[in-house]
A and B are shown apart, each in its own frame.
Chain A
Amino acid sequence: MRLTPDQFWTYWEWLFERGGLLGGFLLALILAVLGFIAGFLIATIKYGPAEGFLQVAKILGEFFTVDLPKMSIRRIFAIAKLSFKEAIRNRILIVVAVFVVAIMFAGWFLDPKASNPAQLYIPTVLTFTNWLMLLMGLFLSTFSIPRDIANRVMYTIVTKPVRPTEIFLGRVLGFVAVATMNLVIFGVMSYFFIVRGLSHTHDLESLQNDGLAGETTSVRFHSHSFTLNEDGVGTTNMVKGHRHIVRKVGDKVVVSEQVDDLTARNPVYGTLRFTGRDGEENTGYNVGYMSEYQKYIEGDTLSSAIWKFENVDPKLFPDVLNFDMTLSAFRTYKGDIETPVGGVVIFRSLDGEVESDRIPFRVKEFQIDQHSIPLKLKGFRKGEPADLDFFTDIAQNGSFEVVVRCRDRGQYLGMAAADLYLRASEGTFVWNFIKGYISIWLQMFIVVCFGVMFSTFLSGPVAVIATISVIVLGMFGWFIDNLTTGKISGGGPVEALVRLPLQSGSETQLDLGNEMIEGAIKGVDRGLLFSVSTLKSALPNLYDLETSDFIAYGVNLFDGLLARHLTIAFGYFLMTSVIAYFFLKTREMAG
């Protein structure tokens, strides 16, 4: 699981500082201007400019004066209920059967030897549910209005006092209700599938040390070892992402069901800085390929990555200090390809006087590398070996540093701020799981909005294709980004158009001998490119709303992120409502 820096923004930070609100507002503005121009052109072709302008103004006016204020909840519900009935009577619930069959197959095919079954089961189930819901949203939403128009049932609808807004809202509401019902069923079934699929316990294989340590039997391709304290309580070691609580009851040692595989931990993040080969401050090394997102430290030098944590609440870590790493390795020579690149972690106080022993690790790429250290630990005080207490000695006032170095000469370790975090045990898995389903719901909601919108002016199959295209294009937003950040030589569209007849190469500076014109061309281009990049956000990037990793890796989905996704979905809902309104309003239902 790889977190990107933007996922850490709080909701308000995103809304106000990172352009969430501004972007939405600009998009609305650009769409409004484009819509007005398009409407005016079409009306002009039909009625001539003066009459055309009047028509556009009239429709706009009616939107605000009657069609919005005179909406009726009862009518919206009537259409919603109708859509719901229609879907049910078209046997939408067959999809539930599909889901049951699919989940049975999953039960057979998911590899029980996987190194972390939870991290296999959860994403599989969530991803499958996600796709199924998107498909359901797509096919539910795109056919009804075109069918009503083709069957002419629309004649008896629009000759009642029904407003275009109500048709759109009613349809969306109805389809979302049907899909939600399905999603709830899927969610409950998935939950039990996951819980039952992971649930197991072990018997005792052997006991040592007067019954205070031992081995469990092998169940589901793994076994654990454990030690108990004087009170006869303890846990096993972590295998395949889980542990078991072990208790001595009378003479018997009892191993309970597994714990820790279904969690929702709240990660605590720090800020990251780097030092170079000789210990000097730098910004980390680039290794020249892959993402710019991570920076690298060099092996067997003083080059290190230093995370600073501040004001960490000791209450979040009552027994142990858990921390996770998601580092990546870059090899400048192959070396021993079997052994992963190794490194060390050191916890130290801010003044650097107290530090822990070096904790060695080997990089587990593309996985979460989970560690924990005891709160009573060995280390050094002013260079002298000492027994330390984490929160009194190292983390005074909850603030401390974590230093990561790479041990292998000539190899590099890559990291970004989010690649090392403390893992507080908080939050319940069920609630996190529900949040994951809310993410799926939001994606389905967006698809339904677009599907219904397209179906107001396209036939069913074409609306399906259009909706799919929007989703696919939305996922390739980064491509348009590259196009519009101006990195491409030869300037924007207008400049390119001017260059064409001049046969001026795209590498040379534009020279028309008139700075005003050149400036104007560049200005227009900048405006155009900016508009295009804003317009791009009219296409939803469903991939960004995907959160199954959070659930799978037991990280509590940040509320700020979920709130952001909710807001984005609502934005698309508003956008599609308005577009659908104008199409329904200006469409001849009997044409």
Chain B
Amino acid sequence: MSSAAPAAPETNPTTSSAPTNPDIIVETRSLGKIYRDFWGRKKVQALKSLDIEVRRGEIFGLLGPNGSGKSTTIKLMLGLLFPTSGRAFVFGKEATDVAKNERIGYLPEESYLYKFLNAEETLDFYGRLFDMPASVRKERTEALINMVGLQRARRRQLREYSKGMTRRIGLAQALINEPEFLVLDEPTTGLDPIGTREMKDLIVKLREQGKTILLCSHQLADVQDVCDRVAILHQGELKELGRVDSLLKVQDVTQIHAKGLDENTKSQIRDLIAKSQGELLKMDNPTTTMEELFLDIVRDSENRPGRRSSNAS
């Protein structure tokens, strides 16, 4: 068991300069968040000293069990929360900077929209907030309503919408400004299997258009399907960070499937294995599932706080 987690530095490193690399869309530097009550007493340490980067053109997944600090991280990046320690930069600017919002689309955990507006009015309203002229708003509204499949409900107030429909209008709202960087907090919750499939296809398509996407989820299959890199959080701590394919590779197991070996070679291999008291199953580097990895990490971190000894890069 290694020592306790390093304490989050309480000082605010404002002196360190903002990142300049344009290919780093988001950068957090020992980002921490403590929720306090009205009297300033500590309630929860939701995030501890997080260091991650989201690079241009990738789909970055934030994973973690409920309450692990995923939404908190996203809110810090959007300036909805102010960090207790560390800093977050988006497009090289402080996360609280309003101007960055021009290039961002955000789909919150639940679609927090005005219930008394209908789909068209909602998109028109958010379009105005981007200072878009009427003709552009009209065109985008039209296109987005078609894209998320709400043609038949476009004039109905959102209070009448089902969960999945609300999710769809929420997504449309996040895309109204054709953002370069899209932040999706649990994009597939509330969607039916077809909707989930469409959402995943859309996310991949958006990446192909050159957009950068940060999503958080606990639908592990989704993440496995679309994400390029993931960060796994548990109790506010970063446990794993890396490419999905390398994370899922189990390094200390070799799996051998072979063809065209003669009996001699095979027996040599078997002998070799037998000599080292092993037992041959299959010769291969197997991949685990996201679910395995996830459960493993959580189990592991219950016993051993702090960053996991990494087996991936």
Identify the A interface with B (CB < 8 A). Answer: 45, 47, 51, 54, 66-67, 70, 72, 74-75, 77-78, 81-82, 85-86, 89-90, 151-163, 588-591
Tell me, rounded to whole Å, the shortest Cβ–Cβ distance linking A159 to chain B.
5
Shortest 5 CB-CB contacts between residues of A and residues of B? A78-B128, A590-B80, A160-B129, A152-B112, A89-B116
CB pair A162–B98 under 8 Å, yes or no, is yes
CB-defined contacts of A162 to chain B, threshold 8 Å: 98, 101, 129
A589 to B106, CA, bound (A): 15
Q: Check if A74 sits within 8 Å of B128, measured CB to CB.
A: yes
- Known: A66-B98, A162-B98, A588-B80. Is A156-B113 also a contact (CB below 8 A)? yes
B129 — nearest CB in chain A belongs to which residue? A160
> Does any Cβ of A come within 8 Å of B161's Cβ?
no
Instruction: Provide the bound-state CA to CA distance between A70 and B99, in Å.
Output: 10
Chain A nearest Cβ from B22, distance in angstroms: 20
Name 13 extra pairs, CB < 8 A, besides A157-B129, A160-B126: A45-B40, A67-B98, A77-B128, A78-B125, A82-B125, A85-B117, A156-B106, A156-B126, A159-B106, A160-B101, A161-B98, A163-B98, A588-B82
User: Which residues of B have CB within 8 Å of A161?
Assistant: 98-99, 101-102, 129-131
Q: CA of A81 to CA of B101 in the docked complex: distance in angstroms?
A: 22
Q: Which residue of B lies closest to A72 (CB)?
A: B131
CA distance A404 to B35 in the complex (A): 75
For this complex, 8 residue pairs linking A to B, each with C-beta atoms less than 8 Å apart, are: A74-B128, A85-B116, A152-B112, A155-B75, A155-B106, A158-B79, A160-B177, A162-B98
Q: Which residues of B contact A152 (CB under 8 A)?
A: 108, 110, 112
Distance of A486 Cα from B82 Cα, bound (Å): 46
What size tier do the contact residues of chain B reach?
A: 20 to 34
Distance in Å: Cβ of A229 to nearest Cβ of chain B: 67
A151 to B114, CA, bound (A): 9
A156 engages B128 (CB within 8 Å): no
Q: Are A78 and B112 in contact (CB under 8 A)?
A: no
The answer, yes or no, to whether B148 is at the interface (CB within 8 Å) is no
User: Which residue from B14, B75, B110 sits with its C-beta under 8 Å from A51?
Assistant: B14
A156 touches B116 (CB 8 A): no
In the assembled complex, which residues on chain B have CB atoms less than 8 Å from the CB atom of A51? 12, 14
Closest to A589 in B: B80
| Docked complex Cα distance between A78 and B81 (Å) | 25
Q: Quick one: closest B residue to A73, CB to CB?
A: B131
Cβ distance B71 to chain A, nearest Cβ, rounded Å? 9
Q: In the complex, which residues of chain A have a beta carbon less than 8 angstroms from the beta carbon of B173?
A: 156
A75 CA to B101 CA in the complex, in Å? 14
B50 lies within 8 A of chain A by Cβ: no
Which residues of chain B in 84-120 are interfacial with respect to chain A, using CB atoms and an 8 Å cutoff?
Answer: 98-99, 101-102, 104, 106, 108, 110, 112-114, 116-117
Would you call A590 and B129 a contact (CB within 8 A)? no
Residue of B nearest to A59 (CB): B96
How far does the alpha carbon of A151 sit from the alpha carbon of B113 in the complex, in Å? Answer: 8
Q: Is B78 an interface residue (CB 8 A)?
A: yes
In the assembled complex, which residues on chain A have CB atoms less than 8 Å from the CB atom of B40?
Answer: 45
- Let me know if A159 and B128 touch, CB within 8 A: no
A470 to chain B, nearest CB (A): 22
Chain B proximity of A183: nearest CB distance (Å): 23
Are B129's CB and A54's CB within 8 A?
no
Is A590 within 8 A of B81, CB to CB? yes
- Is B99 a contact of A159 with CB atoms below 8 Å? no
CB contacts (< 8 Å) of B121 on chain A: these are: 85
How long is the Cα–Cα vector from A156 to B14 in the complex, in angstroms? 28
> In the complex, what distance in Å separates the CA atom of A72 from the CA atom of B127?
13
Given A161-B99, A161-B102, verify A155-B80 contact (CB < 8 Å).
Answer: yes
| B119-167 at interface with A (beta carbon < 8 Å) | 121, 125-126, 128-131
Q: Which of B35, B40, B108, B121 has the most CB of A within 10 A?
A: B108
- For residue A153, which residue of chain B has the nearest CB? B112
- Chain A proximity of B134: nearest CB distance (Å): 9
Determine if A54 and B114 form an interchain contact, defined as CB atoms under 8 angstroms apart.
Answer: no
If the complex has contacts A86-B114, A153-B114, A160-B101, are A47 and B126 also in contact, measured as CB distance less than 8 A? no
CA distance A154 to B114 in the complex (A): 10
Would you give the shortest CB distance from B82 to chain A, in whole angstroms? 6
Docked pose: A54 CA to B121 CA in angstroms: 41
